[in-house]
């Protein structure tokens, strides 16, 4: 019900929280995620300009009337492009939607004396609407001046989660870097082993079908985004290496035929999850039922 009500609200537009804002400039607004934000701002009654690669000659004119500038460019260009923003109006809010937060936030604070906020939408461009989607908010400077923006995104249905930029980046080491990397490696392993993918699907349990879908969907997307997310910090690579070492230790346990060791280790992990493991069992049961009902091929 929630999703449907947001979907229909989207068609008819959203309330404008700050009608006197002036213009919004989205740098990289023709890109995948930028385009989604451009659409949401326009549906909410704002005047939005897109600043793309060839538009920098015109940048000063666009910035002159801007009440909000949003940076949505490839991760590896983000800091350089932010450093180019010399001349924003002093009350203009400068925001970014980069998947990493510490470095872009620092770059924005250096480039602009006015209000600054770091955002990370925890979803991709393929979401139909923003109902219940999480947007991470890392406060930069001049909080009061961008509360309207957070309120606007809440009207879109998004949940704002406040966190310190450094803590965000640490959590993303697990939530994104390690997750995407293990998905990548599993895909690479499948490609090398070269099984008949249709036969795997035909024989699949719902859980394996879901896993295959989660892995396969990565490879329908942009490799540079994932490369940049994984390579964003040395901590990510160190985490991946620790994971690889644990993987090998577990494989060696099997080579020793150490069934007791496997069971002990299993119980140790089970204790660590505590009540969450039964909670996850219930939540995933529904997901798996749905996945099975929605089979398309
Ligand atoms: P994208 O490549 O689709 O879009 C980037 C846009 O920036 C392109 O339109 C490109 O032409 C433009 N651009 C490149 N150089 C430029 C320049 N010098 N000046 C102005 N524009 C320039 O990438 P995307 O997936 O939309 O990602 C954009 C940002 O959103 C990244 O910071 C990424 O971390 C973040 N993000 C993406 C996702 C996702 O799933 N795609 C999710 C969360 C956050």
Q: How far apart are CA 60 and CA 49, in angstroms?
A: 12
Instruction: Tell me how far the alpha carbon of residue 202 lies from the centroid of ligand 1, in angstroms.
Output: 37
pLDDT on residue 293: 87
Residues with Cβ within 8 Å of residue 182, at least 6 apart in sequence: 243
In this structure, what are the phi and psi dihedrals at residue 124, rounded to the nearest 5 degrees?
Answer: -100, 180
Torsion of CA 23, 38, 98, 169, to 10 degrees: 100
ipTM score of complex: 0.99
pLDDT on residue 287: 87
Q: How far apart are CA 62 and CA 197, in angstroms?
A: 50
Residues with Cβ within 8 Å of residue 22, at least 6 apart in sequence: 47, 65, 66, 67, 68, 92
Measured by CA distance, the residue closest to atom 35 of ligand 1 is 98
Instruction: Tell me how far the alpha carbon of residue 47 lies from the centroid of ligand 1, in angstroms.
Output: 20
Kindly report, residue by residue over 121-138, the tens digit of the pLDDT.
999 999 989 999 999 999
Ligand 1 atom at shortest distance from the alpha carbon of 224: 2
The response to whether residue 121 sits with its C-beta less than 6 Å from ligand 1 reads: yes
The response to whether residue 71 sits with its C-beta less than 6 Å from ligand 1 reads: no
pLDDT on residue 11: 56
Q: How far apart are CA 183 and CA 24, in angstroms?
A: 37
Q: How far apart are CA 10 and CA 241, in angstroms?
A: 44
Category of 274 on φ-ψ map: left (φ > 0), alpha (ψ -120 to 50) or beta: left
Q: How far apart are CA 105 and CA 110, in angstroms?
A: 9
Q: What are the CA-CA distances from residue 115 to residues 105, 108, 251 (Å)?
A: 11, 9, 52
Instruction: Tell me how far the alpha carbon of residue 27 lies from the centroid of ligand 1, in angstroms.
Output: 9
Q: How far apart are CA 214 and CA 281, in angstroms?
A: 18
Measured by CA distance, the residue closest to atom 41 of ligand 1 is 124
Please give the structure tokens belonging to residue 69: 């500038």
Measured by CA distance, the residue closest to atom 42 of ligand 1 is 124
Instruction: Tell me how far the alpha carbon of residue 40 lies from the centroid of ligand 1, in angstroms.
Output: 16
CA dihedral for 42, 137, 103, 181, sign (positive or negative):
negative
Kindly report, residue by residue over 107-123, the tens digit of the pLDDT.
999 999 999 999 999 99
The residues pairing with 96 across neighbouring beta strands, listed in sequence order, are 71, 118
In this structure, what are the phi and psi dihedrals at residue 86, rounded to the nearest 5 degrees?
Answer: -75, -35
Cβ pair 236, 173 in contact under 8 A: yes
> Residues in the chain with pLDDT < 70?
1-12
């Amino acid at each position: 019900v929630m999703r449907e009500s947001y979907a229909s609200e989207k068609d008819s537009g959203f309330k404008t929280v700050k009608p006197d804002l002036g213009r919004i400039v989205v740098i990289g607004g023709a890109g995948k995620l930028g385009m989604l934000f451009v659409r949401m701002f326009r549906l909410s009654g704002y005047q939005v300009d897109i600043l793309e690669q060839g538009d920098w000659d015109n940048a000063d004119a666009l910035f002159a009337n801007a009440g909000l500038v949003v940076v949505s460019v490839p991760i590896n260009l983000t800091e350089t492009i932010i450093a180019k923003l010399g001349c924003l109006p002093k009350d203009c809010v400068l925001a970014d939607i980069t998947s990493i937060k510490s470095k872009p936030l620092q770059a924005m604070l250096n480039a602009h004396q006015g209000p600054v906020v770091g955002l990370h939408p925890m979803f991709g461009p393929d979401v139909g609407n923003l109902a219940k989607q999480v947007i991470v908010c890392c406060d930069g400077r001049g909080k009061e001046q961008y509360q309207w923006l957070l309120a606007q995104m809440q009207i879109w249905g998004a949940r704002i989660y406040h966190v310190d930029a450094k803590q965000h980046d640490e959590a993303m080491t697990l939530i994104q870097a390690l997750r995407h990397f293990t998905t990548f490696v599993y895909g690479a392993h499948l490609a090398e082993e070269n099984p008949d993918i249709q036969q795997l699907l035909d024989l699949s349990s719902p859980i394996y079908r879901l896993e295959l879908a989660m892995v396969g969907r990565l490879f329908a997307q942009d490799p540079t985004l994932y490369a940049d997310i994984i390579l964003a910090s040395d901590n990510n690579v160190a985490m991946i290496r620790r994971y690889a070492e644990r993987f090998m230790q577990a494989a060696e346990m099997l080579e020793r035929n150490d069934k007791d060791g496997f069971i002990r280790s299993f119980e140790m992990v089970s204790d660590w999850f505590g009540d969450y493991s039964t909670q996850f069992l219930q939540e995933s049961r529904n997901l798996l039922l749905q996945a099975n009902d929605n089979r398309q091929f």
